[in-house]
Structure 1
Amino acid sequence: MQYTDVFIEFWEQVKQSVEEERFAKLTMAKTIGKPNLKNIFVRPVYSNDGFMVLLKLRYRSRETEDIEQKLTLDEAFPILQKHLKTSFFSVLLFTTTKDVTFKINKKGAGSITEGLPTFTNITQAEIDDN
């Protein structure tokens, strides 16, 4: 199945984990080549304004400063989707009940696998509102 369709299925599991308050973290990993962008992390932020995420772009080069943005889950989706198959081959969803991995193979097909949870508790991202 085409990776874009499978990623939408994967994203439904992300949204469901948020609705059920099981979302712990999301990580984009397995870079393609050696780009300056090393990882993308998405961490939960529960506030009076509702659920938000802290999206962090981490770079290899010390000269490039990491970028952090506080976004809604819907705002984070196109940013993550844009980096699929251009920068990253996999996305890992960590919840308190299971880990879900989305991968793209060399032929461009997507797959989803599930495993035991890495996290048993949710740790919110630290936000500097200054």
Structure 2
Amino acid sequence: MSYEPIFALFWERVKQSIEDKTFAKLTLAKTIGDTEIKNIYVRPVLDENNVIKMSVIARYKTEEVESFHSLDDTYPILASYMNKPFLSALLFTTENDVVFKLNKKRAGSITEQAPTFLNASDVILEMKARGM
């Protein structure tokens, strides 16, 4: 069975956490082997029109590259990095940490843990304060 449907469920949790204003951070980690890219960090930002965008920061051995995308456009970007080279995605929310992992057979699974962060991201807190 392919891991893509499980990753799509994980992405629904990401979107729900933004809608519920509990999103703290999203990280792709645990690479296969020694790769140029080390991590990808995702966080919400507000553009000049107060529209939420996602900042995608790719951290390489020698540099960081930041790009901005709509929430829907961020999904295929992150999905393209799963399995090549990343084996896990971690969603940190104020309610729980949601972990998507690929095992050795490349089957996906989602687990939950107690929350690491007590507060949502700064942009989410700003949106709550503005009643957005």
**TM score, norm. by length of structure 2:** 0.86
69-78 vs 42-51, greater mean Cα deviation: 42-51
Deviations 1:72-93 (A, max 9, x none): 1111111100001011000000
Aligned partners of 1:99 and 1:117 also within 8 Å: yes
Aligned partners of 1:96 and 1:120 also within 8 Å: yes
Deviations 1:43-102 (A, max 9, x none): 121454322111100011x2xx31101211111111100001011000000011100000
For 2:80 and 2:101, the matched residues in 1 are separated by 15
Match in the other structure for 1:27? 27
Query: Structure 1: which 4+ aligned runs deviate by more than 4 Å?
Result: none
Identity of aligned residues (%): 51
Of 73, 78, 81, which aligns to 2:79? 81
Unaligned 5+ residue runs, structure 1? 126-130
User: Match for 1:23: what amino acid?
Assistant: F
**TM score, norm. by length of structure 1:** 0.88
State whether structure 2 residue 107 is matched by structure 1 residue 106: no
Match in the other structure for 2:10? 10
38-47 vs 112-121, greater mean Cα deviation: 38-47
Secondary structure at 1:107's aligned position in 2? coil
Higher helix share: 2
Secondary structure at 1:28's aligned position in 2? strand
For 2:96 and 2:52, the matched residues in 1 are separated by 20
Unaligned 5+ residue runs, structure 2? 124-132
Aligned partners of 2:38 and 2:60 also within 8 Å: yes
Deviations 1:107-127 (A, max 9, x none): 1210000001111112337xx
Match in the other structure for 2:126? none
Distance 1:46 1:97, change over 3 A: farther
Match in the other structure for 2:130? none
